[in-house]
Amino acid sequence: MVTKHQIKVIKSLGQKKFRLQLGLFVVEGIKGINEFLSSDFELENLFTTELIFDAPEDLINVISTSDLKRISTLKSPNTALAVFKIKASEQIETGKLIIALDDVRDPGNLGTIIRLCDWYGVRDLVCSLNTVDCYNQKVVQATMGSLSRVNITYLDLNDYIASSELQVFGTFMEGENIYTAEIPETGLVILGNEANGISKDIKVNRKLTIPQFGDVNATESLNVANATAILLSEFKRRSIEM
């Protein structure tokens, strides 16, 4: 059974201010929960309709399907919902490929980018202070567990760029063709806001562009998550060819 207090807490975690106050976030579904249980994230509470998880017994609450629907944000809840403790970001590793996001607002885009970082072995994802919260429930759901393996740090992007010794790349409509440009194995690659791109006050060393190949150039820009996939693919491809 889920208590009224538990329902209130879980529902409140849909808002960033309460996630920050309580230091908690929600994960739904068997796969996502198992990914976090296998990580160094600490479980606070687990609500499930089936006893199928390897977790401390005192933290497992067996509930009915109707109770799961009461606490879930999904139209079709998937067996379980867990509450985990937010952990502090680890120190950013230098000398590697790092992705940075400038004011990316869409939860689905951020979730997909986190999955891409996980897939391509990018440990650190740096986010501007205005980028959507990575513990937003839509972001967590979109990562399919990859959030448990990518170190995400929110900071002042300009200050970080100024302190970084990495070459700074920015994605623009005009710049060096990503397919022909000479690019290193390491660097800081910045992608911008879905509508406005990279802020004018962000300083980069080199501008990169993904060229259009269609006969009719009616598309204004690529989705930021799609652009991230192409850029990561090119950077990683070059690294194995060197």
- The whole-chain average pLDDT of the chain stands at 94
Which tops the pLDDT comparison, 78 or 47? Answer: 47
Which of the listed CATH numbers 3.40.1280.10, 3.40.50.620, 3.20.20.140, 3.90.1300.10 matches domain 97-241?
A: 3.40.1280.10
**pLDDT the model gives residue 178:** 95
Instruction: Please give the share of the chain, as a percent, with pLDDT higher than 90.
Output: 88
Report yes or no: 111 and 142 within 8 Å, Cβ to Cβ. yes
For range 13-36, the mean pLDDT: 97
Beta strand residue intervals within 53-192, DSSP E: 60-62, 80-85, 97-101, 124-128, 151-155, 168-177, 187-191
Please report, for the chain, the start and end positions of each structural domain, with discontinuous segments joined by +.
4-85, 97-241
**pLDDT the model gives residue 215:** 67
Tell me the pLDDT tens digit for each residue of 58-86: 999 999 999 999 999 998 898 999 999 99
For range 199-208, the mean pLDDT: 94
The yes or no reply on domain 4-85 and CATH 3.30.1330.30 is yes
The first and second tokens of residue 124, run together, are 């650190």
C-alpha 13/C-alpha 80 separation (Å) is 16
108 pLDDT more than 90: yes
C-alpha 174/C-alpha 155 separation (Å) is 27
What's phi and psi for 32, nearest 5 deg?
A: -60, -45
pLDDT band for 219, please (50, 70, 90 cuts).
low
- Helical (H) or strand (E) element with 157: helix 157-163
217 pLDDT more than 80: no
**pLDDT the model gives residue 95:** 87
C-alpha of 139 from chain center: 6
**pLDDT the model gives residue 241:** 65
**pLDDT the model gives residue 44:** 98
